[in-house]
Structure 1
Amino acid sequence: MRTRRAPLRWTFVNQDPTPTADLLHEFVAGRRRHDIPAVITTLSEDCLVIESDGTAHQGHDEIERWLRQDRTDDWVIVTAAATPDLLIAEWRRGGQEGVTIARPRAGVIGYLREYVTTASEN
């Protein structure tokens, strides 16, 4: 006779009790306004941001240099969700559609990665 196994349970490392999808909205809103200080306040000091092309930027100084060259202003979040360990946003930007996955840490973003999923037909 087979014994029943207990169902698998996900175990998360971070367990940050404070994240909300609003954190990604604040990040995107700051980028749309080209408000670098507002964007930086959403990120941890050692945050790692990886663009959809694989380019990585780590830490406030490096991210600030990247943001000064970036001219994103037509970025719209379509849907967003949050768990204690992940922030997820589906977006449209400059004729592209994509997804951002972020990991919160102590109420700010500690890791953020963007993926382009398709070209938009709009």
Structure 2
Amino acid sequence: MAPDPSGDRLAHASCGLASLREEQRGLIARQPPASLGLPACRTACQSRKRPDEPTACLYRRLRRHDIAGVLATLTDDCVVTECYGPVYHGRQGVEQWMRAWFGAGGSVDGWEITSQANAGETLVMEWIFSCTWQGEAATFQGATIARLEGEKIAYLREYATSAPLYDWTGTWRD
């Protein structure tokens, strides 16, 4: 599996795929997600022809609370497993969760993909996720394993770190 070359990300910075590291290095000027219209995202996403794009599009659309856009990236019988336990079956299950979560004030504040790779129809990516739930902001690192059927996500499973990461120096933190 080879990581995504940063040059490919730069070509589609307007679609939101460019990483924060590229932005910090001054390689791109990142637009805030609210400034991106759905047609612009769809156009950029469709032009990419990359196997990992459905998952990246799903994350961007979650950031914008674009329920229809998220559902368009999934197969009818998809299975989505969140890192904290819930499993959603089919587009209808995902839609029910999204409407309930966003309706209760949940907000996806950021979802930066920090690395990604693919082998055929299997995608793997690491990310940094930020959200607000019940008035409390949270950020954590995690990873996703996804499988595609055609250009749609059929299976997606997320994993999250359970503690802040640190460089081990001979002793463990409590």
TM-score above 0.5, yes or no: yes
Of 105, 111, 114, 1:75 maps to 111
Q: How does 1:1-122 map to 2 (within 5 A)?
A: 20-68=51-99, 69-70=101-102, 71-94=107-130, 95-120=139-164
Unaligned runs of 5+ in 2: 1-48, 131-138, 166-174
Q: Is the 8 A contact 2:51 2:121 kept in 1?
A: no
Report the TM-score, using the length of structure 2 for normalisation: 0.55
Which segment is superposed worse, 70-79 or 57-66? 70-79
Q: Which structure exhibits the higher relative contact order, with contacts defined as CA atoms closer than 8 Å and separated by 6 or more residues?
A: 1
**Contact (CA 8 Å) 1:74, 1:93: kept in 2 or not?**
yes
| Alignment TM-score, normalising by the size of structure 1 | 0.77
Letter in 1 for 2:73: T
1:53 aligned counterpart, secondary structure: coil
Q: Which structure is higher in strand share?
A: 1
Counterpart in the other structure of 1:8: none
Structure 1 residues 29 and 78, CA, compared in 2 at 3 Å: closer, same or farther?
same
- Identity over the aligned pairs, expressed in percent? 36
More displaced stretch, 79-88 vs 89-98: 79-88
Aligned partner of residue 52 in structure 1, secondary structure: coil
**Count of residue correspondences:** 104
